[in-house]
Structure 1
């Protein structure tokens, strides 16, 4: 996947001067899928890498027997702190500027720094029917499909929206597959997470309920740690909308450590679930984990992954691990699953277990890394999709 993207757009806000980007990596049946992130320092190169990753995530879930046909890959990004008082106005103006693309071929939704509710509100203010309206012409029954997706977004599981849990379900299942293949029991396996927002928080819940001990969680205020395990549910209930935990709920055995302390915690599994480029080569010697499971997009830098592989640390790549959120949207919209949580979780677990298994089987057979195996699977799937639907 070394070809340049189909489309790259940079926008400047006439009010604040802030910049935003859109990259469409490829189209399938004239449509591309990929979320919109907002963070200070977001760059065009970052968005281009994320767009390419979306092409890969879509392709990995290709199943000729499914109603859902994978779309192309795209991504949007805005260089702005989502906590800034200017952020919402910037978001609305960005969506107004990108309206022709969203109406025709870019389907988007929440990503780092944004919630789906906020994207939906801003999209309506920008004059859009929906942030995913470009896919509507591909649906057999648009009204029924939109109703089904709306019902799924209204579903809650113990106070947390289903849409906020599906990605973490996929990440957790990826961890469990790796443990199963290594013969490692869940009980006694420790995990540390960077990020406690939508993806990190949901991952922590599913892993904790599977018997793993969540021993460290990092947010913007620092790392919360307890070698005996944190009370995940109490921390989830004490989050603000950005995933920051109210420290007043910490128990006597919980300690507060610096923000990067999660890297060096004595643990078997590390889950970077926040920002890109979180683990560079300078961090490798601090890491004690056996597995790094990429819940965030592009959290491990390539040079760091080479060093980690040399130390026997397996890096499970983002294009597989965090792909369930995107796939759940389309499985629901196209009608492969209904709007209920039990059906969604069952479908995600089955699909992710099969996908992670295929990736690890191939890595073992070819003596390569999980990421290289995933990329090989992508190339095969993209070829099949192009043969069936063409290049655009």
Structure 2
């Protein structure tokens, strides 16, 4: 792949905090990728995430679909989202990036930010929407925008549909891997890092499929129970940052150190919080058979090499957590309506097909699932470029 199309760093004149924008590629003149806010966010991190978005878009290319994949992009702000000044930094960042958001970059919630907060800050920055750059590609903008707004208004058992579809995609990736290996759901144990938007929804879908959630980590530490945690009670006890009120724990639930989720006795490990969580130094603590990347870039390359030597399979983020982004566009372009059952069915079917393609290619090529996903992207990008060009 080539270098990013655009890469820039912005400095907030009030706080000195920095923000980054990387547009990796344009398709039909538009790119897609969320905006994250976390202390220590770097341009290098955002560049890797933007490249990942190019891959996620290409992986969901369906020539017969109404949604045509966009280019990849990503934004990032180096600021603790719980800092009292964070919202002001966000508004000023969006104001500075307004020319790009109006013309070439569609964005939304990511680590540290909710879509409600992004929408509110975007309005203060004078933007019509955080995804307004894509409107010119729509056949009927009014109907499309109403459809997406209706979809965002849907709640299922107390959680928004926009929060649930990503977790549905992650869970379906886990289930597809278990089915391929002939492993039954009951008795399969899962440990998660993060109970925020992605981790919480993933925990719900896996628990309802019959898997046992034995450990969950948040900023306060790891909550564990080898008999299985009460997922719905933990979800109900979360704050806006995914931190669980310990008063909701049962007497036999354990409170362990923050990194205890890594070494939990489980078949499936789901890092669903920060990037770079698993490195060469801590990977040897993992006993799980599968690591399923719900977060972006949680497993460092050197760690993945060592894990592969030990027979641990990593299902990569570019496939596993791509459902949220795809759902936005499936809904906006009209492949699905604003309906929870339709969203879950379409997500499950699409993720099953994609995970199956990836694992099948990995077996045929004798390589890792990540290398197989990259190979699928390498096949599809020239097709997309031939049909739509690089920029127009």
TM-score under structure 1 normalisation? 0.99
- 1:121 matched to which residue of 2? 120
Inter-partner Cα distance in structure 2 for 1:31 and 1:58: 12
Give 3-state SS (helix, strand or coil) of 2:281's partner.
Answer: helix
State the alpha-carbon separation in 2 of the partners of residues 381 and 264 from structure 1.
Answer: 38
- Is residue 2:376 matched to residue 1:377? yes
Which position in structure 2 is the counterpart of 1:51? 50
State the distance in 2 between where 1:275 and 1:109 align. Answer: 17
Structure 2: distance between partners of 1:181 and 1:253: 34
Corresponding position of 1:190: 189
In structure 2, C-alpha distance between the alignment counterparts of 1:131 and 1:164, rounded to whole Å = 17
SS of the aligned residue for 2:147 comes to helix
Report matched runs for 1:275-294 at 5 Å. 275-294=274-293
Match of 1:42 in 2: 41
| Partner-residue secondary structure (3-state), 2:282 | helix
Cα deviations by residue, 1:239-265 (Å, 9 ceiling, x for unpaired): 000000000000011000000000000
- 2:241 is paired with a residue whose SS is coil
Structure-1 residue corresponding to 2:155:
156
Give the whole-Å Cα distance in 1 for the aligned partners of 2:337 and 2:283. Answer: 43
In structure 2, distance between residues paired with 1:180 and 1:160 = 27
Structure 2 counterparts to residues 315-354 of structure 1, below 5 A: 315-354=314-353
Correspondence for 1:221: 220
- Which TM-score applies when normalising by structure 2? 0.99
For 1:260, what is the secondary structure of its paired residue? helix
Aligned structure 1 segments of 4 or more residues deviating by more than 3 angstroms: none
Residues 1:239 and 2:223 are matched in the alignment? no
Number of matched pairs: 391
- Quote the residue 2:307 is aligned against: 308
1:366 aligned residue: 365
What's the offset of the Cα at 1:381? 1.0
Distance in structure 1 (CA, Å) of the matches to 2:242 and 2:375: 35
> What does residue 101 of structure 2 align with?
102
* RMSD across aligned positions (CA): 0.4
1:206-250 Cα shifts (integer Å, max 9, x gaps): 000000000000000000000000000000000000000000000
Partner of 1:30: 29
Question: What is the rounded CA distance, in whole Å, between the counterparts of 2:253 and 2:309 in structure 1?
Answer: 33
CA distance in 2, matches of 1:284, 1:67: 42
User: Which ranges of structure 2 fall in alignment gaps of 5 or more residues?
Assistant: none
* Aligned equivalents of 1:8, 1:286: Cα separation in 2: 37
For 1:194 and 1:158, the matched residues in 2 are separated by 23
SS of the residue corresponding to residue 344 of structure 1 reads helix
